[in-house]
Amino acid sequence: MKLADRVQFFSRLQELNPQPTTELLYSGPFELLIAVMLSAQATDRSVNLATRRLFALANTPAALLALGETALKAEISSIGLYHTKARHILQTCRLLVDQHDGVVPAQREALEALPGVGRKTANVVLNTAFGWPVVAVDTHIFRLANRTGLAPGKTPLAVEKALMKAVPPAFLRDAHHWLILHGRYVCKARAPSCGQCVLRSLCGYRQKTPNPKR
């Protein structure tokens, strides 16, 4: 995709949503970190329902440690993989208390050293909590980047690297949120709403498919 098209691509998304952000509910970097850890293979809606209760009880590393594993599991039992997630959350809380004075670090290496925190989770926290111009590639962004031709790649890391080159610098801070929301609600996996898409004239999928599903 040519530079002029990429600028137009993100200009259209920006016009629709000038101040995009995550649909996860949180207050501060720690709540965001926990919400993102819980969101793996779960919907933001289900996470928000659980964290609304959980954060009312405990929303600091020390408080979650004091809450304990049994009570934590009870609060997040509606979320998939909650046994593993509870263990990782408490291990992460212990490291935050012991090594970071209870504060979520704003460095990639330190974030990825936390149990249950991979590159995607670290990128979400770095971007959303700390303003880093990075893109966390989830299934929606992976699909959209390949389908539209914006940043093709065979793996999430390949797509992330391609996006870092493809997204014009002026749009990089918010690109993650624009892409994930567009992939979630418009450029859907099984039935993309091409007829309602503001990017349709720039999209490789649209150009290759004469009558895509609307």
Q: Distance of CA 127 to CAs 34, 65, 77, Å?
A: 15, 26, 28
Question: Residue 69 and residue 166: Cα distance in Å, rounded?
Answer: 43
Q: Determine whether 138 is an active site residue.
A: yes
Q: Determine whether 120 is an active site residue.
A: yes
Catalytic pick among 138, 154, 174, 188: 138
* Burial bucket for residue 75 (CB in 10 Å: 0-12, 13-18, 19+): buried
**Phi and psi (nearest 5°) for 58?**
-160, 120
* CB contact set of 8 (below 8 Å; sequence gap of 6+): 202
Catalytic pick among 2, 5, 73, 120: 120
For residues 178 and 13, the answer to whether their CB atoms sit within 8 Å is yes
Amino acid, res. 182: H
List, by residue number, the catalytic residues.
Answer: 120, 138
